[in-house]
Structures are given as structure tokens and as C-alpha cells.
């Protein structure tokens, strides 16, 4: 089933000049990039986007990290895109991620793990609409 999912190349990966390699891998894996923008996320945007984690102890650190530098936001389309992107990203902790995944290859640690991806059709729709209202 054709799906659209949301992805972020996080500030750590952009700063380390990994964005081109990540985008190349996305395309090699058969994703169509239907929206892409390099931007700086504002504190307000980050707090809203990660509101689901507001009560967690890492919320402030996560927001500060996400506003620490430019990110690349993308809307990706492919059959079963949500699961395909999550599989390509790998586990949240790069040490636990499978060899060859984005996080294992480009992530430094659980707090700076190179990429973000939607976890379900509902969140994919919300996240795509948040950054790409023209695609919603």
C-alpha cells in the first residue's frame, strides 16, 4: 500500500555533513521524496512537535537539541513507507541498531541519533501536515 511518511535529518547529522549520504540512501531504497526543506526549527515548533514527550525527563534536552542547528524535513512516499523508513532508520539507540541502518551508521548516541521518523499512519499524517501543509 502506497504511504507517505515523515522524516527528519537531525541537527547532529546535518552538522556532520551526513545529509547527502542519508538522502542518497533514501533514494536508493526506493523512496520518492515528495517534500524536502532545510530549516531551523523554532523552540515553539519543537515543543509542539514533541509535545507527546512533554512529561518525560528528556523533553527539554530533546527540544534544545532539535533547535541547535538546521534540520532537513522530508515527506517520503513508498509502499509501506512508515515501516520501511523505520526499518531503514534502525533502533533509537545507535549501539542497538542493526548494521547498515541510518542510526547505526550516522548516529552518535541515543540523544543524537541522526534521524526521526513517524511511527504510525496517524502520526505520519500529523507530522507531514505540520511541516508540509500543502501535502496534507
Please report the domains of the chain, with CATH numbers, ordered by start residue.
2-39+73-135 (3.30.70.141)
Supply the pLDDT for residue 20: 98
Pairwise CA distance, residues 111 & 108, whole Å: 8
3-state secondary structure of 111: coil
pLDDT confidence of residue 117: 97
pLDDT at residue number 136: 79
Q: What is the pTM of this model?
A: 0.95
The rounded distance, in Å, linking the Cα atoms of 66 and 61 is 9
Per-residue confidence (pLDDT) for residue 56, from 0 to 100 = 92
Q: Please choose, from the candidates 112, 26, 41, 24, the residue with its C-alpha nearest in 3D space to the C-alpha of residue 75.
A: 26
116 is catalytic: yes
**Which parts of the chain have pLDDT scores under 70?**
none
For 24, the enclosing helix (H) or strand (E) is helix 19-28
Q: What pLDDT is stored for residue 10 in this prediction?
A: 98
- CA dist., res. 16 & res. 112, Å (int): 11
What's the rounded Cα separation, in Å, for the pair 130 and 52?
A: 14
Which residues make beta-bridge pairs with 116? 8
**Per the residue annotation, which of 17, 48, 53, 116 is the catalytic one?**
116
What's the N-to-C CA distance of the chain in angstroms?
18
CA distances from 116 to 92, 112 (A): 9, 10
| Count of Cβ atoms closer than 10 Å to residue 97 Cβ | 20
Amino acid at each position: 500500500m502506497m504511504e507517505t511518511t515523515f522524516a527528519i535529518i537531525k541537527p547532529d547529522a546535518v552538522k556532520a555533513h551526513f545529509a547527502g549520504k542519508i538522502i542518497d540512501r533514501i533514494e536508493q531504497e526506493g523512496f520518492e521524496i515528495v517534500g524536502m526543506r532545510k530549516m531551523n526549527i523554532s523552540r515553539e515548533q519543537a515543543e509542539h512537535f514533541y509535545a507527546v514527550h512533554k512529561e518525560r525527563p528528556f523533553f527539554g534536552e530533546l527540544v534544545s537539541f532539535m533547535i541547535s542547528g538546521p534540520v532537513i524535513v522530508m515527506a517520503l512516499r513508498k509502499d509501506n513507507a512508515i515501516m520501511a523508513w523505520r526499518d531503514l532508520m534502525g533502533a533509537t539507540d545507535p549501539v542497538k541498531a542493526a548494521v547498515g541502518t541510518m542510526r547505526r551508521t550516522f548516529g552518535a548516541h541515543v540523544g543524537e541519533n541522526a534521524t526521526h521518523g513517524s511511527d504510525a499512519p496517524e502520526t505520519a499524517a500529523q507530522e507531514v501536515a505540520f511541516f508540509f501543509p500543502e501535502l496534507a
